Amino acid sequence: MMSAHHETKPQLVLLGVDGGGTRCRARLADVAGKALGEGLAGPANIRHGLQESLSAVHGATDQCLREAGLGYGDCRIVACLALAGASESNTLAQEASQLPFHRVSFTSDARAACLGAHACLDGGIIIVGTGSIGWGIAAHQEYRVGGWGFPISDEGSGASLGCEALRRVLWAHDGLIPWTGLLRTLFERFGREGCGIVRWMSSARPRDFASLAPAIVEHARQGDAVACELMRSAAAHIDTMATKLRALGVPRLSLIGGLADSILPFLSHQTQGDLVPAKGDAVDGALHLARAEAACLEHMGSVADA
């Protein structure tokens, strides 16, 4: 009887989700790891609202199932949600019950990125995008460096670069340093008025500060003195994170995020020498964790069936 009942259960499927400050990506896979469907939705950073985050997860999951030709009743979803800000929320577990998942676990986007980059082997990542964070895994220990949010942390990030650039625009405006091409370009965006920057700043979020990063990168490429100084200073912070992870025994590092390629040439030779390409991304990392959970469930199921 137990065995017959077991065979009628809907199939276990795996869902990995990477939910960041600008978008939420999801992938559905079978327990062997074969991709069944993908989905994309809006921001899912928990710090900016748990409901918005969970609704993005829901939307991305709907897309996955549609692409896989499955309904929620056809499968039992074992999900791992890697959400930016997940390490700061105490209310995740109780809210998770509203999601149509058989099992759900949460982790941070940085940890999932690390597991994905090194296929669950020892290694570390440094994310350089709107924010910045380092994560390392070595000898069954996990380490975090930075990533506590702008302006008290996230050194070397796009938000931090944008803020430091505006500081220098105002220094030039006040006659403390000479104007450069970068500073003039940025000042023009604000109608060449210090007050324009102040007004903008009153509602600016980290991603707004980070929106200035491409101009900094571009001017650094052309040799702009201030842009190069900003990139070097950002890279020095990333070097510090890399040095720390190395000292903790993390054997290899991957640099990921929207600014990774731009900052690479400014990193120390030692950091550059430690870098390896990422094998996978945070969705892969989340799927690894979902697979481990599913294996555990199947083991428990077979024990119960025995």
Closest CA to 280 of 97, 25, 6: 25
Counted residue by residue, the chain has a size of 306
Nearest to 127 by CA among 300, 245, 268: 245
* Listed ranges 13-21, 92-100, 174-182, 280-288: which one lies at the site for a copy of itself (CB under 8 A): 174-182
By C-beta, is 71 or 151 nearer to a copy of itself? 151
Any idea which residue has 């896979």 for tokens?
Answer: 29
Q: Return the number of the residue (248 or 264) whose C-beta is nearest a copy of itself.
A: 248
CB atoms within 10 A of CB 94: 8
Of the candidate residues 87, 130, 157, 254, the single one contacting a copy of itself (CB under 8 A): 87
CB 226 within 8 Å of CB 168: yes
Residue 170 C-beta: closest distance to a copy of itself, Å: 5
Q: Which stretch binds a copy of itself (CB under 8 A): 20-28, 76-84, 170-178, 284-292?
A: 170-178
Nearest-approach distance from CB 261 to a copy of itself, in angstroms: 25
Q: How far apart are CA 138 and CA 87, in angstroms?
A: 20
244 touches a copy of itself (CB under 8 A): yes
170 binds a copy of itself per the rule CB under 8 A = yes
Q: Is 236 in the site for a copy of itself (CB under 8 A)?
A: no
Strand partners, 127: 133, 256
Give Cα separations from 286 to 60, 78, 156, 225 (angstroms): 14, 11, 26, 41
Binding residues for a copy of itself, rule CB under 8 A, total 29
Nearer CB in complex with a copy of itself: 49/59:
49
Q: How far is the CB of 247 from a copy of itself (least distance, A)?
A: 9
Q: Do the bridges between strand 103-107 and strand 75-83 make them parallel or antiparallel, or are there none, so unpaired?
A: parallel
Q: Does 10 bind a copy of itself (CB under 8 A)?
A: no
SS3 194: helix
Binding flag, residue 63, a copy of itself (CB under 8 A): no
Query: Using CA atoms in the order 159, 165, 166, 172, what is the torsion angle rounded to 10 degrees?
Result: 170
Find the binding residues for a copy of itself in span 185-214 (CB under 8 A). 194-195, 197-199, 201-202
DSSP state letters, 231-245: HHHHHHHHHHHHHHH
Q: Which residues contact 166 (CB under 8 A, 6 or more apart)?
A: 186, 197, 201, 209, 212
Of residues 115-154, those binding a copy of itself (CB under 8 A):
144-146, 148-149, 151-153
Nearer to a copy of itself, 154 or 274 (CB): 154
Q: Which is nearer to a copy of itself, 30 or 208 (CB)?
A: 208
Position 240 contacts a copy of itself (CB under 8 A): yes
Measuring CA to CA, which residue among 212, 210, 205, 223 is closest to residue 266?
223
**By the rule CB under 8 A, 175 interacts with a copy of itself:** yes
Q: What tokens does 173 get?
A: 């405006």
- Per CB under 8 A, residues contacting a copy of itself are 47, 87-88, 144-146, 148-149, 151-153, 155, 163, 166-167, 170, 174-176, 194-195, 197-199, 201-202, 240, 244, 248
